Structure 1
Amino acid sequence: MTFFTEVLVGGLLAGVMYSLVAIGFVLIYKASGVFNFSHGALVLFGALTFVSLVERHVAPWLAFALTLIALSSIALAIGQWVLKPLVNRPPIVLFMATLGLSLIIEGGAQLLWGAQVHGLDLGIDDRPLAIGGVMVSQFDLFAAGTAAVLVAGLSLLTRFTRFGLSLRAVADDPVAALAVGIRLPRIWAAVWALAGFTSLVAGLLWGARLGVQFSLSLVVLKALPVLIIGGFSSIGGAIVAGLLVGAAEKLAEVYVGTAIGGGIENWFPYALAMLFLLIRPAGLFGETPVERV
């Protein structure tokens, strides 16, 4: 029973890492209805910029601030100069635009900082802790705590502030929101800046876990099942789905993979997402679109 609990807890904590990436997608989708595939490149750019500045003897707090400014500026530029001119275009056009942007951002990061692999030490000891007889990674606990603070802050921001009210109005009906005086450019700018912040946090945590390398941008693929299962428009759904995906893939790898062969962890989340698409396309917390005629 202890082994099962360790596997389950390890999966849940790994799922939190997936959720951190998924939250950035949710923020953009809620505000503009765009699936921003370039978010994975922003995660890479943030981690690579931070570690490159630190290696050049910039103080970590200053490196974090400078990286956040850079990411927010890139995100704002994407929203203003790329996605805004493509408003009301078919979804596939927006998707291809963000896909192209991801390649441009990755190439720009390589041109600016080089292509070598970097180690990233956040000063968090990754030795396991014994909690109730269960061994838990200290780094995973830190990541879970970071995600909890981030989600709590975003939830308070979207539920109990004027900005949150405006964001929900824009998410429900942008045209109606514009008609009642909500300034869409300001809302979109703030959301893109928040997405830049979440991509930086996710990039630092994933970079500390995997190393800062260009394959880090592929972590976006791990967020896709989370978005499908949780719903593209729910921050809480991203967390719940991340926990579900993380636990399911670890348990499947240990208890099913041993019987049919290894590697099940790599594709099981996508099979689970496919099942949700067949049964509940909007996800656990997503809203089914209503067409008015």
Structure 2
Amino acid sequence: MAGSPAFLVEVLLGGVATGLMYSLVALGFVLIFKASGVFNFAQGVMVLFAALTLVGLMERGVPVAVALIVTMAVMVGLAFLIERVVLRPLVNQEAIILFMATIGLNFFLEGFGEMLWGANVKKLDVGIPDRSFIVAGVQINQLEMSAAATSAVMVAVLAVF
């Protein structure tokens, strides 16, 4: 029921979980900016590219461990290529030019990813059941809480360093 205290707790838990995951995105922007001086708009599509690479390999029957290693190698290679071909030649340019280059890179990688893997929705089984359980009348999604806990740990680890 929408007016019940249990519903309020469910919404609050969902909001905190979402906020923790958004904090990782924000930390990614900050880390990249601090390391390179570039606000990289292509960060999100790089994560998408990695996920689609992993799913694509797993759909072709590649074992998870091998798919993870190959995905990491693909992403290191892609990052190196982007740095050498797109970003390095623009190093002494105004910040807005690098900023715009990452926006263009974002669109290019989205299109390239769609060309490679298609536009259909993909599903990645992360090994955590997507089911809910009830605690004191509050419905809690196991996958969402696992993602929130992982995000909280990662934020805490990054805060230490």
Question: TM-score range, shorter-chain basis?
Answer: 0.7 to 0.9
Distance 1:155 1:65, change over 3 A: farther
Q: Does 1:15 align with 2:19?
A: yes
Tell me, in whole angstroms, the C-alpha distance in 2 between the residues paired with 1:23 and 1:134. 31
Tell me, in whole angstroms, the C-alpha distance in 2 between the residues paired with 1:72 and 1:23. 20
1:53: which partner in 2?
A: 57
Q: Does 1:39 align with 2:39?
A: no
Matches within 5 A, 1:17-96: 17-96=21-100
Tell me, in whole angstroms, the C-alpha distance in 2 between the residues paired with 1:132 and 1:29. 44
TM-score of the superposed pair, with normalisation by structure 1: 0.49
Tell me, in whole angstroms, the C-alpha distance in 2 between the residues paired with 1:24 and 1:141. 21
Equivalent residue for 1:153, pick from 128, 141, 157: 157
Distance 1:115 1:5, change over 3 A: closer
SS at match of 1:115: coil
CA offsets 1:162-204 (integer angstroms, 9 cap, x no match): xxxxxxxxxxxxxxxxxxxxxxxxxxxxxxxxxxxxxxxxxxx
1:116: which partner in 2?
A: 120
Q: Assess if the C-alpha contact under 8 Å between 2:23 and 2:155 holds in 1.
A: no
Gaps of 5+ in 2: none
Q: Does 1:102 align with 2:106?
A: yes
CA-atom RMSD in angstroms: 2.0
Q: CA deviation at 1:18?
A: 2.0
Q: CA deviation at 1:59?
A: 0.8
SS at match of 1:153: helix
Amino acid of the structure 1 residue aligned with 2:75: L
SS at match of 1:57: coil
Q: CA deviation at 1:71?
A: 1.4
Distance 1:111 1:2, change over 3 A: closer
Matches within 5 A, 1:100-249: 100-156=104-160, 159=161
Q: CA deviation at 1:43?
A: 1.9
> Is the deviation greater in 43-52 or in 127-136?
127-136
Identity %: 51
1:266: which partner in 2?
A: none
Q: Assess if the C-alpha contact under 8 Å between 2:33 and 2:39 holds in 1.
A: yes
Gaps of 5+ in 1: 160-293
Amino acid of the structure 1 residue aligned with 2:59: E
SS at match of 2:133: strand
SS at match of 2:25: helix
Tell me, in whole angstroms, the C-alpha distance in 1 between the residues paired with 2:24 and 2:68. 17
Tell me, in whole angstroms, the C-alpha distance in 1 between the residues paired with 2:22 and 2:36. 22
Distance 1:69 1:22, change over 3 A: farther
Q: CA deviation at 1:133?
A: 4.1
Q: CA deviation at 1:154?
A: 3.0
Amino acid of the structure 1 residue aligned with 2:10: E
